[in-house]
Amino acid sequence: MNELLREAFRHNAWAGRELLAFCRSLTPEQLRATTQGTYGSIIDTLNHHINWDPAYLPRDRVERPEWAGDDETIDDLDVLASRVDESARLWEAYLSGDPLGADHKLLLDQGAYEVSASIPVVQALHHGNVHREQVCSIITSLGLEPPDLQPWTYAEAAGLARQVTPT
């Protein structure tokens, strides 16, 4: 089961890297663009998505980076790319070990909220998908074709899928 989750997080990191690579071609004005129904500008949404990704890791199992959960906007896409890589390593390490089971309860919000340990894992994947799609919506509103971040595209890029010719 952990291998399936690791693959989901590998897609998560790949999609973040692909989106950042695409955004390198945008002007500073385009990076500040937004549209209705999104978190904020492209650069603000990228920062929020990337900085919160490791914040869903359980503190008692993983030492989170100091920037985890930070909403400060960094304009340097290289810094954001390095954070995607660091988050990917942390998730890989967590999921390669003995992750907390769904029956394990976590206390969040300074003990005011109890949740199954599985939910922050699910939230991390959901959060990444939602915000990447918001960035893609803004890119579309600029009249550009956003990158294809689907798991099918990831699978082909990672050598996990291919087109076959029927015999």
pTM metric for this prediction: 0.92
- Say whether pLDDT at 1 is over 70: no
pLDDT tens-digit series, residues 58-102: 877 889 999 999 989 999 999 999 999 999 999 999 888 777 676
43-56 pLDDT, tens per residue?
Answer: 999 999 999 999 99
Query: How far is Cα 163 from Cα 126, in angstroms, rounded to an integer?
Result: 28
- Measured in whole angstroms, the distance separating CA 158 from the mean position of its chain's CA atoms is 17
| CA–CA separation, 22 and 20 (whole Å) | 5
Q: What pLDDT score was predicted for residue 34? A: 97
- pLDDT reported for residue 62: 86
Domains of the chain: 2-157 (1.20.120.450)
How confident is the prediction for the chain on average, in pLDDT?
93
Cα(151)–Cα(33) distance, integer angstroms: 26
Q: Which amino acid is at 140?
A: T
- Whether the CB-CB separation of 51 and 71 falls below 8 Å is answered with yes
